[in-house]
Structure 1
């Protein structure tokens, strides 16, 4: 089902060996340069009407902004069981703030596809960044919580949302218990209306871990107060960091191994990135800024620049280097091999499924693989 391209391979040769039509290989893998395969490239090979079924019986979710390209969302919806709208916010006065763009069209198409639409709640400031002072004011004031929760219930009923995902980041350590209790209050009220509540948490691998992202996050308490917990297992490789895999499997495994000691495995949802990064070299901390790149786009970049794709054994992630305009580049991204490895981890630990951050870029082979 997954074929790794070798030097000298052509689509005609692969088609003859597998009996999969050339046109189908091109379409399923979104090949722009069909006459120029990339050594090391992983191709998904499926017969007519066949799918991979990696997500059978499990949650398959994904986050999207209301400005997502409709065809890209619709293709993802062929595989999704839930679609999460990013995002609602709130004010210091406890008023719910809708997304800047109307999201109703997304909900309509999600419901038509047989998937569940979810509301995402974030503490974004007016500048669009996570604001832990918003969190502090909210979780320390019961009246503000009551006001916000009432408005959330009204919106859920009016719009037809079937769940709420609370994505609070940079929580102050002194607010960790209050935050978990707030999540529990949201769950208690939403469950009355048939809505589930999840919380998104930064990846951590021990209780002793330090850092602004993790010290305010108590896995055990959040597991007790939410219906499920979403592990944001990505961004090891990130915009301003040194080049590395976005979601290296060895690091993801460490997070899962710790999480299942704090939360029942069936309550856990794994995060999978639907993107990669392109860094210029040499990397200089504080100066280098990686460019975010789609997974299908990454293969196009390799093809355009005559690169060969490598596959890192420990991180279970594809990567390649290329030279353009006198500059060296390195790209880490996801392909059907790395996606398969993550779903195998989900099955191994008995997790409830996965959510993709995010659905804004096309990745047809992934949706064929998991549905």
Structure 2
């Protein structure tokens, strides 16, 4: 007798849990609701100029956030990214203006400086077993202090014409900065999802001991993750200089909190081993829309810092809840579904065996 519980139709009509829907599409739903609400509160919000500005600023943050995501995936954290942005900004502009270096060379030095900070962070974290929080807090102070000493606290202007042109260029009405950020995001996605290095990133963050026992050189993976973070922070510094039209020692102030919030909101676990580039982009976009809404609604200054702090706490809470409650529940549901699919197959095998025996007896 057929069991209706395990019929093909019942399997197709099995309800999807609210938790599963929110886990997959919750962030996108929040963004869409926010867009609808703000379009009613501000006539300026739903305009091409405003959306271009939102995506432009989000692109600057996204580049740095993607680097931060690599570090969080291996179970680390990089608080120095905002200060590295400032170092990159002042070096790229200052070396060209003060020493007459070609733009390409000053940009190269800025990128190498960011990469060096990333290497130092990774090396000290892995080889001396110092907490990444402590190491990057120290390099944050060093980098920010260097930027202010180099500039004397003043902005360096004008920027090289090549940087200015890059900051203002557009293709089919889309700023090149946005296109560049999307290219970096695509490359990061391919690296994490299609390469052995990407799989090693997730393995090291998910279970460092198991990764080491399986032959993965965990220390090297962690160092490379920090190097990527430092390099992309330096790229972000160049992009911000192109937007501001100056090299600034205060560039990137507080950016480390923003990118951490964006990455965690996007689903990357603070414990490592879990996260996707698309989620990070959505997290950046959400924070960008929040910042834009604060500006359009004329909310008092520095409220965005409070919002970022609240968002980080909430995101951390959601991350803990997801790991301790939601993910085990979804895993149990998946096992139940697998069992439900396997049961009718077993029944069919039994019926086939009985028929075979009947034919043999005849």
What range describes the TM-score normalised by the shorter chain of this pair?
A: under 0.3
**Bigger fraction of residues in helix:** 2
The normalised TM-score by structure 1 is 0.22
TM-score (norm 2): 0.23
Q: Where is the strand percentage greater, Structure 1 or Structure 2?
A: 1
Greater RCO, CA 8 A, separation 6+:
2
Q: Larger radius of gyration, structure 1 or 2? A: 2
